[in-house]
């Protein structure tokens, strides 16, 4: 029984010391479970553990000193009386003057003690000496302990307790140095999770780490001019930290619980203190790229903090988390934000340090949830707002990628629960919400920011309002956001958003510093964009000239004050627009300046290529567009180099590596393409930047908003944006190729475009990150497919060079098929051959201009198979499509929209609604024989079978952004096929376009042109009407429909060589074209040409002459495609 009590009280004493329950009234228990005070525990220990009175005396004096020291703070786990943001800790572990006299007798008792366990005695004496203000004496006692730098030797072995042989034995430990603490006792009832407490290992580690910490603190006091001595002392604790991290998780993995931390409380106190003091000292004395010692301590702190509850040392942990995040940002960010970030069509993998930063931020959030509270009136939750700035700074340093905004937005939403109308949080939220795609919530947040800051300034509250620079930058960015949204919603909503953008700019100018040239230029640029946007969406011929003139003036002012690539880009667009100040030479010069300033921006190259076409410099335009396409080709290739490694420069912990930098030859490529800024490891342009986290004499941490970049001129392109920009550029290449080489030359190049699509389809995400608001057009972009990618102007100029172009003559087989139509069978547009495999793999990793000839033939054959085999069983086109466009009727929409990837992979899918339409009989002539026309000379087919009962209409799913683009792509290819006379292939492409986007008016425009090529003018008109029903301001549909009205074909049964237009149709055309000439078609030559024809037929010769003059001037300086549709009206 006596042997059992011996073991029990040894275990109780060590457990009480390791737990650090100095002020507890019951730190231990009797074998029967009764509570014991500290004095009773010491008495019971001396009674049952004979020969160890020195151990009891050391434990008693240690407990007494700890109680006196705890008087410095309300909670011994907290810092003390220092403010949270203070880094001054000189009084830590020092007794108050009134406590020195009480502690002196205990110090004397230890000095008189004769003990065989001298190491522990010297550790205790050193503790007392430092607490009493004698750092030199403290160092003397510690110097008497052999091998204090190799503190593992003072840890007792656990071989007598753990017989499994799997437990870590610290290197350098011996049985001779540990016999005084080990003993041969172990209770069978002791749980394995606390074995390292019972055998004394945990307390031995705590004593060793405490002594190392005291040694470093003494060096700080005695050698303040040489902080390296203290740093070297703290560094000797790293091996012990490794043992601590290994031992405690190893013993607690089986039964980890919230109660495990109190058992090691005293150990964790000293572990945290030694790491905190080391990191604070290193942050003020060493550069981030020197030896990596601070990264070593950061790693240990992060690992150990996983064992601590959120309420433990909250102030210390807050400081360390902020310092760690600052270190990561300073170490890995670029010295300045990239001027021309490279758009990537492939989602980028975040660097490893980014995941570390997110983990730290999540831990910091947990701490603030426990220690931060909702502020009272007149107060601010500074720590929460600072964390919001840190989160945004981490996101910016990692590349400001749109795919990584969601976690920052989550942090900002969390911050709103612990702040009251924080303008800093709202400022960040409005920006990130727009980048992530939530434009509506971004607008609401921006309005709230403006209201909060305005009311704060009106109330005269000092220090609680945003800075003038942040105010101007945020409102300018918000105004441009409203302009992009307005261009995407041409209508009443767009007008309201443009109006709000103007109000934001007026508010921004109230706090604009005229000496800040950069901000003055940005405001002027935003004003120019607002004027351009308003001129487009108002559709008012009375205000448009003034708007465009003001826009040009603001662009010129922006370039003169502080030239930027964006300002040159917008100036080039303004100079290219039809107006009295139009100057194409200057526009090309400005576009070249934009390219030189930002060679990675695809839209700059695209704009330059389009402007060169106005001068008919076809070769130069092709070269420029090829360079732009080559940029997208190089960026679409996956990066084979590994991603950024962890943030530590220490090779044993974490390593950093500089990202690859690629540059193109300026002479051959006409640009210096810098793929990425060299921003890893504190490197700027190949030169190491030696930077410390804090200033040497810093006593507080600087605000985290100093780590933020200035707001960029415009949001960086997402992967979806990059795909859209690249596709638009390739469509311009196709339009240029067809204009120069004819449709025959463009046909083969379509193979390259579809091959490029096949390469990119695996890298382009189906998720819509941000609505397509950057390519606003005169038509409602938010209405799917309102943009004709082979622009309406290009489409028209190729087909209406004369008043009435001759229709495309069908082949003999096609003529025969129209003469004698076989029975109609409805089949899918794509062959249902499940065994068919399309050979797309050889196309991978090839550019659009350098492809293998055999591969091109394979892809060409694939496309031909798709459009030919889908027509094998379709005998003829339906003679009427207008059953969905009737007077006082509703459109019946198809519900088939399969995935493009499934199409390329030869999956089965439902046919489109165009080719599956039922054959309709010819229209009956009315009693007056007015508007009569013969649709076909062939016999009327038999009536269709009874239709099945109508099912409930299902809502049409909204087409994704990628599907809308692909729908336009198919519609554009259909135009080329039609102009080649390949009517069946054109129809197949139209069907594919409808499958991708059922609400695309371009599909019906091409379907109308398809019918017009077959001399089915009535069906063509109905198709154009349906396009106008979807988009009332569609210029292409209006032009082609009015062309048919104004130049009707002669009846096939009439002997007349020509037909006079119907006066009613002439009046209708004049009204439609007149409306369009004042609105979305004000700069389209074909609108004015056919309007002149309508006026001529009505006998209004003066108006006819004016319209012809306008049409001629517009046609002389037109681009191959519309600028707004191709590159967008604003960046």
Those residues whose C-beta lies under 8 Å from the C-beta of residue 1060, and which sit 6 or more positions away, are: 1048
Average pLDDT over residues 980-995: 90
Give buried/exposed letters for 469-478 (b at 16+ CB in 10 A, else e). bbbbbbbbbb
Those residues whose C-beta lies under 8 Å from the C-beta of residue 770, and which sit 6 or more positions away, are: 402, 434, 435, 436, 437, 439, 718, 720, 721
Q: Could you give all domains of the chain from N- to C-terminal order, each with its CATH number?
A: 1-50 (no CATH), 309-339+353-466 (1.25.40), 734-921+958-1126 (1.25.40.10)
Tell me which residue has tokens 């700035």. Answer: 389
Distance CA 84, CA 82 (A): 6
Q: How confident is the model at residue 961 (pLDDT cuts 50, 70, 90)?
A: confident
- Please answer whether residues 361 and 369 qualify as being in contact, where contact means their C-beta atoms are separated by less than 8 angstroms: no
Q: How confident is the model at residue 793 (pLDDT cuts 50, 70, 90)?
A: very low
Those residues whose C-beta lies under 8 Å from the C-beta of residue 722, and which sit 6 or more positions away, are: 343, 344, 345, 602, 632, 635
- Please answer whether residues 1047 and 1061 qualify as being in contact, where contact means their C-beta atoms are separated by less than 8 angstroms: yes
More confidently predicted of 1062 and 1055: 1062
Distance CA 548, CA 577 (A): 8
Structure tokens at 716: 């960086």
Write down the pLDDT at residue 270.
94
State which H helix or E strand residue 687 sits in. Answer: strand 687-688
More confidently predicted of 75 and 1042: 1042
State which H helix or E strand residue 684 sits in. Answer: strand 683-684
Write down the pLDDT at residue 150.
57
Structure tokens at 693: 């986290």
State which H helix or E strand residue 36 sits in. Answer: strand 35-36
Write down the pLDDT at residue 195.
59
Tell me which residue has tokens 């737990």. Answer: 19
User: Is the four-CA dihedral 743, 746, 751, 757 of positive or negative sign?
Assistant: negative
Return the number of other C-beta atoms located less than 10 Å from residue 928's C-beta.
7
pLDDT over threshold 90, residue 940? no
> Dihedral through CA 804, CA 805, CA 807, CA 808, nearest 10?
-170
Structure tokens at 751: 């193979």
Give CA angle at 446 (445, 451), nearest 5°. Answer: 95
Per-residue pLDDT of 594-639, as tens digits, reads 999 999 899 999 999 999 999 989 999 999 999 998 887 665 554 4
Structure tokens at 194: 């606390």
State which H helix or E strand residue 35 sits in. Answer: strand 35-36
pLDDT over threshold 70, residue 895? no
Write down the pLDDT at residue 137.
94
DSSP assignment of 401-455, as one string? -GGGHHHHHHHHHHHHTSSSS-HHHHHHHHHHHHHHT-HHHHHHHHHHHHHHHHH
Compute the radius of gyration of the chain from its Cα atoms: 39
DSSP assignment of 66-113, as one string? HHHHGGGSSSTTS--SS-TT----TTTT---HHHHHHHHHHHHHHHH-
Average pLDDT over residues 957-973: 84
Q: How confident is the model at residue 664 (pLDDT cuts 50, 70, 90)?
A: very low
More confidently predicted of 750 and 492: 750
Write down the pLDDT at residue 459.
83
Per-residue pLDDT of 548-607, as tens digits, reads 999 999 999 999 999 999 999 999 999 999 988 889 999 999 999 999 999 989 999 999
Write down the pLDDT at residue 503.
95
Write down the pLDDT at residue 951.
53
Query: What percent of the chain shows pLDDT beyond 70?
Result: 68
Q: How confident is the model at residue 367 (pLDDT cuts 50, 70, 90)?
A: very high
Residue ranges in 460-510 assigned as alpha helix (H): 468-488, 492-509
Per-residue pLDDT of 815-830, as tens digits, reads 333 333 333 333 333 3
Q: How confident is the model at residue 120 (pLDDT cuts 50, 70, 90)?
A: confident
Query: What percent of the chain shows pLDDT beyond 90?
Result: 40
* Cα atoms found within 13 Å of the Cα of residue 594, Cβ hemisphere only: 26
Per-residue pLDDT of 82-108, as tens digits, reads 555 667 767 788 898 888 998 899 999
Write down the pLDDT at residue 337.
66
Q: How confident is the model at residue 197 (pLDDT cuts 50, 70, 90)?
A: confident
- Please answer whether residues 388 and 425 qualify as being in contact, where contact means their C-beta atoms are separated by less than 8 angstroms: yes
- Round to the nearest angstrom and report the end-to-end CA distance of the chain: 86
Write down the pLDDT at residue 456.
87
What's the mean per-residue pLDDT of the chain? 75
Greatest mean pLDDT among 134-143, 186-195, 821-830: 134-143
- Please answer whether residues 208 and 151 qualify as being in contact, where contact means their C-beta atoms are separated by less than 8 angstroms: yes
Greatest mean pLDDT among 250-259, 434-443, 458-467: 434-443
Those residues whose C-beta lies under 8 Å from the C-beta of residue 981, and which sit 6 or more positions away, are: 808, 809, 810, 811
Nearest to 393 by CA among 129, 608, 703, 690: 703
- Please answer whether residues 66 and 22 qualify as being in contact, where contact means their C-beta atoms are separated by less than 8 angstroms: yes
Distance CA 223, CA 281 (A): 13
Neighbouring-strand partners of residue 35: 29
Write down the pLDDT at residue 75.
58
Write down the pLDDT at residue 720.
84
> Dihedral through CA 842, CA 848, CA 849, CA 851, nearest 10?
10
Distance CA 517, CA 470 (A): 15
460: left (phi over 0), alpha (psi -120 to 50) or beta: left
Distance CA 1126, CA 777 (A): 9
Average pLDDT over residues 771-799: 36
Indicate the DSSP class of residue 950.
Answer: P
Distance CA 495, CA 459 (A): 32
Average pLDDT over residues 252-267: 67
Residue ranges in 225-341 assigned as alpha helix (H): 227-235, 238-252, 260-263, 265-285, 293-305, 314-332
Average pLDDT over residues 848-855: 42
Q: How confident is the model at residue 755 (pLDDT cuts 50, 70, 90)?
A: confident
Write down the pLDDT at residue 84.
57
Return the number of other C-beta atoms located less than 10 Å from residue 794's C-beta.
27
Q: How confident is the model at residue 81 (pLDDT cuts 50, 70, 90)?
A: very low
- Please answer whether residues 604 and 591 qualify as being in contact, where contact means their C-beta atoms are separated by less than 8 angstroms: yes
Distance CA 802, CA 952 (A): 48
Write down the pLDDT at residue 333.
84
Greatest mean pLDDT among 883-897, 922-936, 989-1003: 989-1003
Per-residue pLDDT of 6-15, as tens digits, reads 889 999 999 9
Distance CA 948, CA 126 (A): 97
pLDDT over threshold 60, residue 249? no
């Amino acid at each position: 029984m006596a042997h059992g009590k011996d073991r029990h009280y040894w275990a109780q004493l060590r457990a009480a010391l390791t737990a650090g329950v100095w002020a507890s009234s019951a730190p231990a228990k009797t074998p029967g479970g009764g509570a014991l005070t500290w004095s009773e525990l010491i008495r019971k220990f001396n009674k049952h553990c004979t020969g160890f009175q020195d151990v009891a005396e050391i434990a008693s004096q240690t407990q007494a000193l700890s109680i006196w020291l705890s008087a410095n703070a309300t909670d011994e786990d907290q810092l003390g009386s220092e403010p949270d943001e203070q880094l001054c800790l000189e009084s830590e572990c020092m007794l108050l003057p009134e406590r020195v006299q009480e502690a002196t007798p205990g110090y004397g008792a230890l000095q008189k003690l004769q003990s065989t366990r001298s190491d522990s005695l010297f550790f205790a004496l050193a503790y007392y000496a430092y607490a009493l203000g004698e750092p030199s004496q403290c160092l003397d006692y510690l110097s008497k302990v052999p091998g204090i730098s190799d503190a593992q030797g003072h840890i007792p072995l656990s071989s007598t307790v753990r017989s499994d042989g799997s437990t870590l034995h610290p290197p350098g430990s011996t049985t001779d140095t540990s016999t005084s603490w080990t003993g041969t006792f172990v209770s069978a009832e002791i749980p394995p999770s606390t074995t390292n407490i019972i055998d004394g290992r945990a307390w031995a580690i705590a004593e060793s780490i405490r002594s190392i910490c005291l040694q470093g603190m003494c060096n700080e006091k005695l050698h303040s001019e040489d902080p390296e001595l203290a740093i070297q002392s703290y560094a000797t604790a790293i091996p012990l930290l490794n043992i601590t991290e290994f031992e405690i998780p190893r013993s607690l993995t089986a039964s980890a619980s919230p109660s495990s931390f109190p058992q090691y409380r005293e150990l964790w106190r000293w572990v945290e203190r030694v790491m905190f003091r080391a990191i604070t000292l290193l942050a003020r004395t060493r550069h981030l790229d020197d030896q990596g010692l601070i990264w070593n301590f950061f790693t240990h702190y992060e690992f150990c903090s996983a064992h601590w509850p959120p309420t433990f040392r909250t102030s210390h942990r807050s400081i360390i988390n902020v310092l760690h995040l600052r270190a990561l940002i300073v170490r890995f960010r670029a010295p300045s934000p990239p001027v021309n970030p490279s758009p990537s069509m492939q989602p980028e993998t975040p660097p490893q340090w980014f995941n570390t930063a997110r983990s730290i931020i999540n831990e910091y959030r947990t701490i603030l949830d426990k220690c931060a509270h909702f502020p009272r009136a007149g107060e601010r939750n500074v720590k929460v707002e600072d964390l919001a700035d840190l989160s945004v700074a981490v996101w910016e340093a990692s590349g400001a990628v749109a795919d990584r905004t969601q976690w920052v937005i989550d942090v900002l939403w969390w911050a709103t629960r612990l702040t009251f109308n924080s303008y800093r949080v709202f400022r960040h939220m409005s920006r990130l919400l727009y980048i992530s795609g939530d434009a509506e919530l971004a607008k609401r947040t921006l309005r709230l920011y403006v209201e909060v800051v305005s009311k704060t300034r009106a109330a005269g509250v000092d220090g609680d309002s945003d800075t003038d620079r942040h105010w101007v930058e945020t409102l300018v960015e918000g105004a441009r956001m409203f302009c992009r949204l307005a261009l995407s919603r041409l209508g009443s909503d767009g007008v309201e958003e443009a109006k709000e953008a103007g109000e934001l700019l007026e508010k921004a100018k109230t706090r604009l510093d005229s000496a800040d040239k950069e901000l003055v230029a940005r405001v002027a640029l935003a004003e120019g964009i607002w004027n351009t946007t308003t001129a487009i969406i108002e559709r008012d011929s009375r205000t448009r000239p003034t708007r465009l003139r003001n826009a040009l003036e603001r662009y010129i002012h922006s370039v003169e004050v502080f030239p930027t690539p964006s300002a040159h880009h917008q100036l080039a667009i303004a100079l290219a627009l039809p107006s009295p100040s139009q100057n194409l030479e200057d526009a090309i010069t400005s576009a070249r300046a934009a390219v030189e300033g930002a060679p990675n921006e695809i839209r700059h190259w695209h704009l330059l290529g389009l402007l060169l076409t106005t001068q008919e410099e076809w070769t130069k335009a092709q070269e420029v567009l090829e360079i732009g396409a080559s940029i997208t080709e190089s960026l679409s290739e996956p990066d084979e180099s590994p991603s950024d490694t962890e943030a530590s420069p220490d090779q044993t912990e974490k390593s950093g590596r500089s990202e690859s930098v690629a540059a193109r030859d300026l002479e051959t490529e006409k640009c210096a393409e810098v793929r990425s800024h060299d921003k890893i490891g504190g490197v700027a342009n190949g030169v190491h930047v030696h930077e410390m986290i804090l200033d040497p004499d810093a006593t507080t941490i600087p605000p985290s908003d100093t780590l933020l970049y200035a707001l960029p001129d415009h949001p960086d392109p997402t992967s979806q944006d990059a795909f859209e920009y690249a596709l638009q550029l390739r469509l311009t290449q196709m339009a240029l190729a067809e204009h120069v080489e004819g449709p025959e030359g463009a046909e083969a190049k379509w193979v390259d475009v579809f091959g490029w699509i096949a390469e990119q389809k695996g890298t382009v995400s189906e998720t819509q990150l941000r609505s397509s608001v950057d390519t606003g057009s005169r038509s409602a972009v938010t209405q799917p497919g309102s943009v004709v990618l082979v622009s309406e102007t290009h489409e028209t100029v190729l087909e209406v060079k004369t008043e009435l172009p001759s229709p495309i003559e069908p082949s003999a087989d096609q003529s025969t098929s129209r003469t004698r139509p076989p029975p109609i069978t409805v089949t899918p547009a794509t062959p249902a051959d499940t065994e068919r495999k399309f050979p797309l793999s050889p196309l991978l990793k090839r550019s659009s201009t350098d492809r293998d000839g055999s591969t091109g033939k394979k892809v060409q054959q694939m496309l031909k198979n798709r459009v030919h085999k889908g027509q094998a069983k379709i005998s003829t086109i339906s003679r009427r499509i207008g059953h969905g466009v009737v007077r006082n009727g509703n459109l019946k929409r198809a519900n088939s929209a399969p995935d493009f990837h499934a199409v390329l992979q030869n999956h089965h899918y439902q046919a489109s609604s165009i080719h599956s339409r039922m054959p309709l009989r010819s229209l009956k002539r009315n009693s007056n024989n007015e508007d009569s026309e013969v649709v076909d000379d062939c016999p009327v087919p038999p009536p269709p079978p009874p239709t099945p009962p109508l099912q409930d209409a299902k809502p049409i799913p909204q087409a994704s952004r990628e599907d809308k683009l692909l729908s336009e792509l198919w519609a554009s290819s259909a135009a080329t096929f039609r102009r080649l006379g390949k009517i069946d292939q054109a129809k197949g492409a139209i069907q594919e376009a409808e499958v991708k986007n059922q609400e695309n008016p371009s599909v019906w425009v091409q379907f109308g042109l398809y019918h017009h090529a077959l001399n089915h003018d009535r069906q063509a008109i109905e198709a154009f009407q349906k396009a106008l029903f979807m988009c009332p301001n569609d210029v292409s549909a209006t032009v082609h429909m009015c062309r048919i009205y104004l130049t009707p074909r002669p009846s096939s049964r009439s002997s007349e060589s020509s037909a006079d237009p119907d006066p009613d149709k002439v009046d209708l055309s004049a009204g439609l074209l007149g409306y369009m000439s004042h609105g979305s078609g004000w700069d389209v030559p074909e609108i004015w040409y056919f309007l002149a024809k309508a006026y001529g037929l009505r006998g209004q010769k003066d108006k006819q002459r004016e319209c012809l003059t306008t049409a001629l001037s517009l046609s002389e300086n037109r681009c191959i495609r519309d600028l707004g549709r191709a590159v967008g009206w604003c960046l």
